Amino acid sequence: MILRLTFPFASFFRQKEVQFILAVSFVLTLFIYLNIWTEPRYRLIAHTPRYKIQASFPPESSTARIIRLERRDTVKAAMNHTWTGYKQNAWLHDELRPLSGVPKTSFGGWGATLVDALDTLYIMGMMSEFEDALISLSTTDFSRPSVDQIAVFEVTIRYLGGLLASQQYLNMYRDAFASFSKNLFFRPQLPSDPDILFPGSLNQWANGDGPPPLDGDVTHLACFVGGMVALGAKINNSSEEFEIARKLTDGCVWAYKNSPSGIMPERFHLFNCPDREKCTKAGEGSAFDSVIDPSYQLRPEAIESVFIMYRLTADTSTNFAYAKLRNVLTPNPTQEDQMESFWLAETLKYFFLLFSEPELVSLDEFVLNTEAHPLKQWGM
């Protein structure tokens, strides 16, 4: 969502009093956030949870531990490479263009990548880089954006997201889940008839007085739903909801496996089955009915759900590749000159946590917001 600062908003946001209030509010919030994350790192390790949703992990063999740590170190090396490139070529800018090495201003010019990556640096134990980022952040003037357009949602989840929490109400959740489970989730028509689900889209412009028909339009962004449903199912102790979460996560894993490059497209279409339990028309569809956007934008949603399912079940995960790619339907996709801050804040963080000890940022103690900033539960 883009908020264009034109009449009547321009005059409002140009008032010095308004700019001062916004700046003070942001700095105070950032101060609280930094105080949380500058406490000793052991506070990220699980202690005594209020209620337990993570699985009890079995003892790890020495061979499995070696493999897991090698994968974790590979993720950390990717983070180190990303951070070094950002620091050398786009320090204190919102983003780095990874091919040309040119800075990009996209979220107010306040160093979105730096702020977004703070807790990832901390979680990975990159304390020197973390402290250096804090010192440099103190020079940022949050009262003066360098652009005349503010992406309200994106700026909020990046700069303030780690500090925002919401109260969840059980009855509201159950009503909402029942509605979108019935109207949004679908089983795709595929030759092998895999037992998977995808979140589709509703055609609000369809004629008629009944509910809008379901369209099998799938986006990578929607892959977070599997993990979201899994968390709700654990809290509600619902095996039926958890099975739906598993099928949703498996759907996105399927999309990765069935792309020529091994990476799920940004947006594609599938024909949906009339019956979610068994698809009588199995075999009539192909891997993807059509691909609307074949790019891969370094999105974290699929690995987010895989990470959550792994933490909740202790089952092994599926490997994913990662890159900023133009067309994942080709064996050797062309790279794009863009790297959004969620690559550091979310994608790499979820990969790192996936291969870390389950006590690190335990889901029994932390809630991860939209941008994967861990919020410790109140009173923990």
Helix axes 239-257, 170-183, angle to 10 degrees: 50
- The torsion defined by the Cα of 252, 256, 260 and 263, in degrees rounded to 10, comes to 120
Q: What's 61's DSSP letter?
A: P
With 70 as the cut, is the pLDDT of residue 12 above it?
no
pTM: 0.62
DSSP letters of 39-55?
A: S-GGGGB----SS--S-
Q: Give the tens place of pLDDT for each residue, 312-371.
A: 988 754 332 233 567 767 777 777 777 777 788 788 888 888 888 988 888 888 888 777
Domain extents in the chain: 3-52+70-163, 170-376
Rg value, the chain, Cα: 22
Block residue for tokens 């689900």: 197
> Topology of 170-376 in CATH?
Glycosyltransferase (1.50.10)
Contacts 24+ apart (CB under 8 A), 128-136: 129/83, 129/87, 130/37, 134/34, 134/38, 136/91, 136/92, 136/111
What pLDDT is attached to residue 322?
33
Q: Is 370 labelled a binding residue?
A: yes
